[in-house]
Amino acid sequence: MKKRYLAMLCLACKTGYAVEDVNESDYYQDLPVVLSASRLSQPLSDAPNAMTVIDRKMIVASGFRTIADLMKLVPGMYVSYYKGSQPIVAYHGATDEFSRRMQVLIDGRSVYMPPTGSVNWADLPITVDDIERIEVIRGPAAASYGANSTQGVISIITRDAGAMNGKSVSYTHGDKGINDAEARFGKRGDAYDYRVTLAYTADNGYDSLTTPPNGYTMATFKAPGLLYNSNDSNQARLFNYRGDYHPNGIDRYDIQFGFNHDVQGVGFSDKNPSIYNNYKGTNGDPFHNLIGNSDFAQLGWTRQLEQGAELSLRYSHTRQDQYEAFPVYLAGNYYPGPVVQSLQTTRDEIEVQHTLPLNDTNRLVYGAGSQVDRVGGQSAMPPISLYNSSSYVYNEYRLFAHDEWRMSQKWLLNLGGMFEKNDLGQFNTSPRIALNYHVAPDQTLRAGVSVAYRTPATAETSYPLMQPGALIVPTSTVNSPGLQPEKLVSREIGYVGEFPEWATSVDLRLYSDLLSNGIYLSSTAQSFVNGMSGEYHGFEATLKHEFDTDNSLTLNFAHAWAASNGALLAAGGQRVMVSSDPTNSDILSASIPSNSASLLYMVRLPHDYSFSAAGYYQAAMQPFDRGAIDYQPIERRVDVRIARALNFPGNLKGNVALVLQNLLNQAYTEYIASNLFNRRGYVSLTLDW
């Protein structure tokens, strides 16, 4: 029945020719309906982009505690960690610790924040249990979501307010200081639904190393023992609320707000900063806490109009503050000060959208939006003020439209674009065109071309804007008023096929992306400049198979390669050893894993047991902004989860689960050599009533 219901939803999207061409394979179509690619509800086979959908069942089976880790289930996605609480998520790798080319949305609200133009995953005021599904657009999506969607879009869709009708508590405890507690409650009503989450999450990050990583010897380091002591614990306390007011069958009002208080352990040395100075340069970075506070409020209104049309309006306010204090070693002197740094960022965004079926074969969605970003930072070493920025105010305006035209029974054209204007004096137009050919009801070929831009981050236009956690103690700010947006032109060919007789679906993508006007830090100019170009090519595949209704397998694979004009070398990059070739100096190419794969197997067992196993593989790589010591060897990892449902008298139910990550203990390093991921496990208990 579930497949039949989903198929009917898909058929409802296929206006015109759908009614008279229904067959058995249509009814049992298992391809998901996606909402993010074009802002229209479409079967995956009609979408203009390749997409990955991580549904609730996959989220639970993965056993992951963090949202960022869920991206390991996306082909071509690079997931790593600068610190235990500071994830790096990027499509096709080739990233520094800030990963500036991936847009992230939560219920349509952008959490891609200034000044670094990245996502602070630790400060998001939601938990994994709050998420209903994640839709990942693999490839540029600026035509739908504007600047900073050059690599793709991660659209996180939280659970509806009415999804919770009762109470739930859960507790998780395990290795590495894992200690999580969560309480959730909600109620469905005739005209108003709501749900509430209160949560505490904590862990100790990575283990402190006692031997050099990656086969190096103690003599390699100028400061022996420096990088083996990790300070990357994390404690977060969060709250979120979602309400849905539906007084009639026409209007719906969505109300959301929440906050997160996060304390991260940062710094790389517990020793005298004068020792650290030998390795890092002018600044010491001793162990200390980075304190973050974030909050948000979001209001939405949707009205159903005649003949399937819809009008929606959304406003959101997001704020993130960070603070840290630490002693520092500067210019040959040890200042126990301490240095105090703080950063404040806010974003106000409003958007209106109109969805309009023009006729039986044509649907149009169009709208407009505006956002205002404000950034301020202070850095002081009492009694000296090192840096004090008045608030940077940045305005952006956009118009967008997308048309879906079913030209015939087999041919579907997606055509869209985004026009943007910002305070940097830039006018960007991001078009996208995709042609889908339905060879058969279950077999679709797709070809598309799109253009996307990435607006320079505040920290790039006003370098070096102070950034807590990044240890920048500036004495001056170098402006880059002429910095232009990065531009990416993407071409792709895709195939989506379903084979009902084998209960199997396949999604293939072949792409070629060209980056121009790439932004990098010039060692000569001591500021960010344009000038890097890069070519990205690759192939991605997803295969899903259902052995039966209780037994399924998802397999992802990606092969990628890249080349650049060498501008990164001019930025101060160093030669690194890649595989067995000691002469390879193409840092961009080396920073992308040539092959990566993931596998997730789920099965429901007798006596209320369930079991899942996941495997992850990533080829060796060299992060382009790190030295040779941080070379990442091959990653091989196997996770397992076994759970049992609990049934008690009355309406009390529950679940107990054991998760073992890196079961075979094939330890590997993540981004920084001292981040050694070895075997860890934890147990979770959940009670619902």
pLDDT digits (tens, 9 = 90+) for 274-284: 444 443 434 45
> Is the residue at 582 inside a domain?
yes
Range scoring the smallest mean pLDDT among 43-57, 99-113, 577-591, 640-654: 577-591
User: What is the pLDDT, as a whole number, of residue 380?
Assistant: 73
User: What is the pLDDT, as a whole number, of residue 29?
Assistant: 44
Give me the domain span that covers residue 464: 31-688
Per-residue pLDDT tens digits for 328-371: 665 555 565 677 888 889 999 999 999 999 999 999 999 999 99
**Amino acid, single-letter form, for residue 189:** G
SS3 126: coil
Arithmetic mean of pLDDT over the chain: 84
Q: How many C-beta atoms surround the C-beta of residue 481 within 10 A?
A: 8
166-174 and 179-187 as β-strands: parallel, antiparallel, unpaired?
antiparallel
Q: Is the pLDDT of residue 273 over 50?
A: no
User: What is the pLDDT, as a whole number, of residue 143?
Assistant: 93
> Is the residue at 12 inside a domain?
no
Q: What is the mean pLDDT of residues 557-568?
A: 79
What is the biggest distance separating any 2 CA atoms in the chain, rounded to whole angstroms? 81
% of the chain residues with pLDDT over 70: 80
Backbone angles phi, psi at 113, to 5 degrees: -110, 150
As a whole number of angstroms, the distance between CA 228 and CA 210 comes to: 6
> Is the residue at 17 inside a domain?
no
Q: Is the pLDDT of residue 35 over 60?
A: yes
User: What is the pLDDT, as a whole number, of residue 589?
Assistant: 80
640 burial (CB, 10 Å; 0-12 / 13-18 / 19+) is: middle
> Residue 64 belongs to a domain with what CATH number?
2.40.170.20
Q: Is the pLDDT of residue 147 over 80?
A: yes
CA nearest neighbour of 563 among 535, 530, 540: 535
Q: Is the pLDDT of residue 23 over 50?
A: no
Kindly state the tokens that stand for 47: 């979408």
Q: Are 550 and 603 in contact (CB under 8 A)?
A: yes
As a whole number of angstroms, the distance between CA 652 and CA 650 comes to: 6
Q: Is the pLDDT of residue 404 over 70?
A: yes
Tally the residues of the chain. Answer: 689
Range scoring the smallest mean pLDDT among 57-61, 146-150, 524-528: 524-528
Q: Is the pLDDT of residue 32 over 70?
A: yes
User: What is the pLDDT, as a whole number, of residue 180?
Assistant: 97
Kindly state the tokens that stand for 363: 């649907």
As a whole number of angstroms, the distance between CA 402 and CA 367 comes to: 9
How many CA atoms lie within 13 Å of 101's alpha carbon, on the beta-carbon side?
A: 24
Count how many domains the chain has: 1
User: What is the pLDDT, as a whole number, of residue 335?
Assistant: 62
Q: What is the mean pLDDT of residues 455-468?
A: 70
User: What is the pLDDT, as a whole number, of residue 21?
Assistant: 39
> Is the residue at 55 inside a domain?
yes
> Is the residue at 24 inside a domain?
no
Range scoring the smallest mean pLDDT among 100-104, 524-528, 658-662, 671-675: 524-528
Q: Which residues have CB under 8 Å from 669's CB, separation 6+? A: 213, 214, 630, 632, 633, 675, 676, 677
> Is the residue at 15 inside a domain?
no
Residue 11's pLDDT band (boundaries 50, 70, 90)?
A: very low
Q: Is the pLDDT of residue 685 over 50?
A: yes
Kindly state the tokens that stand for 276: 């650290």
Kindly state the tokens that stand for 172: 């998780």
Higher pLDDT residue, 456 or 468? 456
As a whole number of angstroms, the distance between CA 80 and CA 83 comes to: 9
Q: Is the pLDDT of residue 417 over 50?
A: yes
User: What is the pLDDT, as a whole number, of residue 216?
Assistant: 64
Q: How many C-beta atoms surround the C-beta of residue 581 within 10 A?
A: 9
> Is the residue at 470 inside a domain?
yes
Per-residue pLDDT tens digits for 283-319: 456 788 999 999 999 999 999 999 899 999 999 999 9
Higher pLDDT residue, 560 or 327? 560
